[in-house]
Amino acid sequence: MQEHIASVFDRDLEAIQAMLMKMGGLVESAILNGAEALERRDLEMAEAVRNGDKAIDALEEQVNEEATRVIALRAPTAGDLRTVMTVIKISANLERCGDYAKNMAKRTTVLADVPPVGSASVTIRKLAREVQMMLKDALDSYIQRDAALAMEVIERDEDVDQLYNALFRELLTHMMEDPRNITPCMHLHFIAKNCERMGDHVTNIAEQVVYLVTGQLPDENRPKHDETPYMTEEG
């Protein structure tokens, strides 16, 4: 009887994890496509990113519903319960990343008719690519139960912070050189900040993996290297 219950739980968990990985794939695409739409001034691609957020939200809701059902019906304990709770927390962080990618796309529609400001769009695409690679590795670390890979992802958030800080300083320079750059640079800053915040959420995912595998969260005193005033857009 116990073996039957365990096998049913495993099947339920596999189904939930499949939804989680699908959600992760959609978020990865949204991050990359949001940055590419900005660089290319591609309004159609930006609109697709905005519309695609509905699918990400729907998957998060589905993951939460199924995870809640598993807890209610299977009453998992110890490690199994920790796994289900980790899935719920990962899906929440993925949903926030999807929101930030959508916000990037919203700003792109405003910037479409404005001349590029220096190499900001190229840097943002590089920033987004770094976040997307972090997310891929964080999800891989979950599937593989690889705490070392998860810790690697956590450490790489510093690279994202440094890229963001460098871009922030570049945007300030452009605004001081020409007041006409102020409005587009503010939009670009919000986009860059959205990328930096996605990096934080990916780091949260990696931290949950470390907790799942080891039973302990990483050091909460990990230094942050965001040197700019806190400005972001929730959505």
- pLDDT digits 0-9 by tens, 27-75: 999 999 999 999 999 999 999 999 999 999 999 999 999 999 999 988 7
**pTM confidence score:** 0.90
Closest CA to 35 of 212, 192, 227: 192
Rounded Cα distance, 40 and 45, in Å: 9
**CA separation for the pair 173, 175 (Å, rounded):** 5
Which CATH fold topology does 2-214 show? Methane Monooxygenase Hydroxylase; Chain G, domain 1 (1.20.58)
> Domain ranges in the chain?
2-214
State yes or no: pLDDT of 232 exceeds 50: no
**Predicted local distance difference test score (pLDDT) of residue 4:** 42
Q: Which of 7-21, 31-45, 50-64, 134-148 has the lowest mean pLDDT?
A: 7-21
> What does the alpha-carbon distance between residue 98 and residue 14 come to, in Å, rounded to a whole number?
23
d(C-alpha 202, C-alpha 22), whole Å: 16
Please provide residue 225's backbone torsions phi and psi, each rounded to the nearest 5 degrees.
-120, 30
CA 12-87-233 angle, 5° bins: 140
Burial class (CB in 10 A: 0-12, 13-18, 19+), 121: buried
Residue 77 is predicted with a pLDDT of: 81
Cβ atoms of 128 and 34 closer than 8 Å:
yes
DSSP state of 76: -
pLDDT in tens, 75-115: 778 888 999 999 999 999 999 999 999 999 999 989 988 88
What is the C-alpha to C-alpha distance for residues 151 and 155, in angstroms, rounded to an integer? 6
Q: What is the pLDDT of residues 169-197, one digit of tens each?
A: 999 999 999 999 999 999 999 999 999 99
**Residue 159 burial (CB < 10 Å; 0-12/13-18/19+)?**
middle
